[in-house]
Chain A
Amino acid sequence: MAEITEQLRAELSEALRQGDADKAEALTRQALDGGADPLEVIQGIIVPALTEVGQLFQEFKIFLPELMLAGEAAKRATAILEEAIAASGQASASLGTVVIGTVENDVHDIGKNIVSTLLSSHGFKVVDLGRDVAPSAFLDAALKEQADIVAMSSLMTTTRPSQRSTINLFKEVGEREKFKIIVGGGSVNQQWADEIGADGYAADAAAAVELCKSLIQVS
């Protein structure tokens, strides 16, 4: 594999930070054409650039649109690189698979979308089920995708009982031990997570990324 030039590294990193998906895609292809290791592009350029973007968002120095654009650029670049990895027979670069969604009857998904974007940009494969997700839909997706982690969001105290119902369903069908289940959202705290038997709680998107990383390492 060829070394990636400093200039290309800097340009791709900048395109990702600026959320310029077309440029990021073109530079990624250029890197591959030049013989770059796709894993190195992901781990050495995309993850650090998006980590920086996530940090700026966390500090409120940039806002959701910038985060979304950077996430989209990273997604497109990563898709090309994953294709190259698969073609070469290498193992996937994904840190693990996270099935994520806002629980049944809850239509608030901005927070969940932010977590989803940050997890993707940190190298997780994210299967986003959207909002108002029934317990059985979480279960079906977790089994189908062979997920490592199931992440549930709930903004409201009136919808958070669905997190408990979902965990209970996983238990009832004997699939609970296969997955790490984590919870978050405006109505959720550590006490609630403990009460319903979740494996973890994160107060914000950055904490969710760290939680997923730690759970993948221990699982």
Chain B
Amino acid sequence: MQTNWLVEIVKRSENGPFMKEPDFEMALAKRTAELVREYGLKFDPQVPIPSDDDMADRLYQAGLDLFVEMGVYNQTTERCIKFTRDETEEIVGTALNAVVLGTGKDAVVMRHRGVESDIPCVVHSGPTGTPCTERYHPLILLSCAQEPLVDCLGAGSVSTYMGQAIIPGSPTEILGARRDAAVAREAVRKAGRPGMHINDVAVPLTCAGKMAAIDQDSGLRTSDAVLVSQMVELKTDYDQLSRVAHLKSVGMHIVDLMTPLIGGLGGGAEGTAVVTIACHILGVVLYSASYHMMSHTHLRWVNNTDRMGLWMQSMVAQALSRNTPIVLLNDIYTVSGPGTAELLWEVAAGAVTGTVSGMNQQGAGTTGGFNADHTTGLEARFIAEVAHASLGLTREEANGYALEFLKHYEDTFDNPNRGYPFPELYDEETVEPKEQWLEIYHEVRDAIIALGLDLDGGWRKVRHG
């Protein structure tokens, strides 16, 4: 059994088959289309949460084939890093199936959950993918960290440092990364949850910037995590792999971030699902990730709450749950913004889909990331409530709920309701949601309870048995 994989990965990066990037992309697109046909994968818009175990297994095999045949493209060396099927299966087989996140009383165990599992979801929150301003970033993080049903916090991204645009690779990137990590640390302290797991500081784009966020006293600790990204599709580079080297050395959690595009190189929902399976395998084999964040989005709307996005989330989660031990995390992206009913219906669809299919929960990336400060802790609470209430549902039952939820927002994709920025929805002094946002929350909550989902009992059962 090979153990020093990073050295081997560099060796293969230097000596693997040479390919120009556009040729790799075209080859990947063509092979993916063939695999969709060979394995008989079929997206049905009426069934965003399929109950087809055999298709889930076929999807996994298609993704494994793609990974083994294409390898991973290293943009730095313009070579493909290849692994044999045996190597891949061995590494995937020995991957972690549970990780401890955070410390002390605030620590949680995030697990490989399985399809229709009764293991509760761990719930991550924070302004994922939604940029924040320096002014409101501390309040937004606090609004998330203080939510009782939220287990982990993402620090998000602020694009300025003391009013000046952060330039990647410059001192402002280092300062911004350290500032955002300190703000996140302060948010969890202020919330009375100092050991809460922080899952990354998103502003830095370089390895140096990411590493600058690590600071045992006032930044990210080894009980926290840093994201290592993949480039679409199935690509990495030495900057990302260098992050892995350092994070592994200091014993820090690595989060495998993938951002597959529905409608992109993988084609439609089926092909993008195949690519996404291969992306997860990349995260296991090359990044040794503690957990895997699946941030797939629709190429045009930049969300994953449409029918294709939900189907993909469900099928990929089912395929990986049935065929690997890895720990999965969805990343709910919406077109709508906070202060709107549509946002809550969108995240509810994402949460019910992910829960029955085997994922843990992360959210929400609102407004497709277009509107700054359009993110609050209340939608994270709602994700947790829906996820916990969905425990014990069958996929068929969950599919019924998803179809109901879709009715409330899918007509808005071309003209989304982006909602309101944080200060219009939360009291800046008390950091509590204002009445207008709470009213909408209760309205949608009551509507979902009326549909039969026990939002009151679900989380109580998770917390108190």
Contact of A158 with B29 in the complex, beta carbons under 8 Å: no
Contact of B265 with A64 in the complex, beta carbons under 8 Å: yes
Q: Which residue of B lies closest to A65 (CB)?
A: B29
Query: With A64-B299, A186-B370 in contact, do A159 and B265 touch (Cβ < 8 Å)?
Result: no
Question: Which of chain B's residues have a CB closer than 8 A to the CB of A68?
Answer: 25-26, 29
Which B298-348 residues have a C-beta within 8 angstroms of A? Answer: 299-300, 302
Contact of A64 with B267 in the complex, beta carbons under 8 Å: yes
Question: Which of chain B's residues have a CB closer than 8 A to the CB of A88?
Answer: none
Question: Which of chain A's residues have a CB closer than 8 A to the CB of B159?
Answer: 156-158
Cα separation A175 to B166 with both chains bound (whole Å): 27
Cα separation A132 to B26 with both chains bound (whole Å): 21
Which B65-103 residues have a C-beta within 8 angstroms of A? Answer: 75
Contact of A105 with B168 in the complex, beta carbons under 8 Å: yes
Contact of B232 with A110 in the complex, beta carbons under 8 Å: yes
Which A7-63 residues have a C-beta within 8 angstroms of B? Answer: 60, 63
A95 contacts chain B at the CB level, 8 A cutoff: no
Query: With A60-B300, A64-B299, A204-B300 in contact, do A110 and B264 touch (Cβ < 8 Å)?
Result: yes
Question: Which of chain A's residues have a CB closer than 8 A to the CB of B265?
Answer: 64-65, 110
Contact of A105 with B300 in the complex, beta carbons under 8 Å: no
Question: Which of chain B's residues have a CB closer than 8 A to the CB of A69?
Answer: 26
Contact of A158 with B166 in the complex, beta carbons under 8 Å: yes
Q: Please, how many residues of chain A have a CB less than 8 angstroms from a CB on the other chain?
A: 22
Contact of A64 with B205 in the complex, beta carbons under 8 Å: no
Determine how close the nearest CB of chain A comes to the CB of B455; give it in whole angstroms. Answer: 33
Determine how close the nearest CB of chain B comes to the CB of A189; give it in whole angstroms. Answer: 8
Cα separation A87 to B212 with both chains bound (whole Å): 59
Question: Which of chain A's residues have a CB closer than 8 A to the CB of B33?
Answer: 65
Question: Which of chain A's residues have a CB closer than 8 A to the CB of B419?
Answer: none
Determine how close the nearest CB of chain A comes to the CB of B229; give it in whole angstroms. Answer: 9
Cα separation A186 to B302 with both chains bound (whole Å): 9
Cα separation A66 to B369 with both chains bound (whole Å): 27
What is the total of A-B residue contacts with beta carbons within 8 Å?
A: 72
Which B1-49 residues have a C-beta within 8 angstroms of A? Answer: 25-26, 29-30, 32-33
Question: Which of chain A's residues have a CB closer than 8 A to the CB of B237?
Answer: 107
B263 contacts chain A at the CB level, 8 A cutoff: yes
Determine how close the nearest CB of chain B comes to the CB of A16; give it in whole angstroms. Answer: 17
Which B330-378 residues have a C-beta within 8 angstroms of A? Answer: 368-370, 372
Query: With A65-B30, A158-B157 in contact, do A107 and B166 touch (Cβ < 8 Å)?
Result: no
Question: Which of chain A's residues have a CB closer than 8 A to the CB of B264?
Answer: 63-64, 110
Contact of B261 with A159 in the complex, beta carbons under 8 Å: no
A197 contacts chain B at the CB level, 8 A cutoff: no
Contact of A161 with B299 in the complex, beta carbons under 8 Å: no
CB-CB contacts of B138-164 with A at 8 A, as 1s and 0s? 000000000000000000010100000
Task: Give chain B's interface secondary structure class.
Answer: loop
Question: Which of chain B's residues have a CB closer than 8 A to the CB of A158?
Answer: 157, 159, 165-166, 168, 173, 203, 205
Question: Which of chain A's residues have a CB closer than 8 A to the CB of B205?
Answer: 105-106, 156, 158-159
Question: Which of chain B's residues have a CB closer than 8 A to the CB of A186?
Answer: 302, 368-370
Contact of A107 with B75 in the complex, beta carbons under 8 Å: yes
Cα separation A30 to B320 with both chains bound (whole Å): 51
Contact of B167 with A161 in the complex, beta carbons under 8 Å: yes
Cα separation A83 to B75 with both chains bound (whole Å): 33
B219 contacts chain A at the CB level, 8 A cutoff: no
B231 contacts chain A at the CB level, 8 A cutoff: yes
Determine how close the nearest CB of chain B comes to the CB of A27; give it in whole angstroms. Answer: 21
Q: Which residue of B lies closest to A161 (CB)?
A: B165
Interface centre among A63, A105, A106, A157 (most CB of B within 10 A): A63
Interface centre among B231, B237, B368, B372 (most CB of A within 10 A): B231
Determine how close the nearest CB of chain B comes to the CB of A19; give it in whole angstroms. Answer: 10
Cα separation A204 to B368 with both chains bound (whole Å): 14
Determine how close the nearest CB of chain B comes to the CB of A156; give it in whole angstroms. Answer: 7
Contact of B370 with A63 in the complex, beta carbons under 8 Å: no
Question: Which of chain A's residues have a CB closer than 8 A to the CB of B168?
Answer: 105, 158-159
Cα separation A125 to B399 with both chains bound (whole Å): 48
B268 contacts chain A at the CB level, 8 A cutoff: yes
Q: Which residue of A lies closest to B28 (CB)?
A: A65
Which A140-179 residues have a C-beta within 8 angstroms of B? Answer: 156-159, 161
B169 contacts chain A at the CB level, 8 A cutoff: yes
Contact of A107 with B231 in the complex, beta carbons under 8 Å: yes
B131 contacts chain A at the CB level, 8 A cutoff: yes
Determine how close the nearest CB of chain A comes to the CB of B373; give it in whole angstroms. Answer: 12
CB-CB contacts of A106-117 with B at 8 A, as 1s and 0s? 111010000000
Cα separation A4 to B239 with both chains bound (whole Å): 53
Determine how close the nearest CB of chain B comes to the CB of A85; give it in whole angstroms. Answer: 26
CB-CB contacts of B165-185 with A at 8 A, as 1s and 0s? 111110001000000000000
A-B residue pairs, 3 tightest by C-beta: A65-B29, A157-B159, A105-B168
Interchain residue pairs with CB less than 8 A apart (20): A64-B29, A64-B261, A64-B267, A66-B267, A68-B25, A68-B26, A68-B29, A69-B26, A105-B167, A105-B168, A105-B206, A107-B231, A107-B237, A108-B231, A108-B232, A110-B261, A157-B159, A158-B157, A159-B168, A161-B165
| A-B contact sample (16 more), CB < 8 A, given A64-B263, A65-B26, A72-B26 | A60-B299, A63-B264, A64-B29, A64-B264, A64-B267, A68-B26, A69-B26, A105-B205, A107-B75, A110-B261, A156-B205, A157-B131, A157-B159, A158-B203, A186-B368, A186-B370
Chain A residues within CB distance 8 Å of chain B:
60, 63-66, 68-69, 72, 105-108, 110, 156-159, 161, 186-187, 189, 204
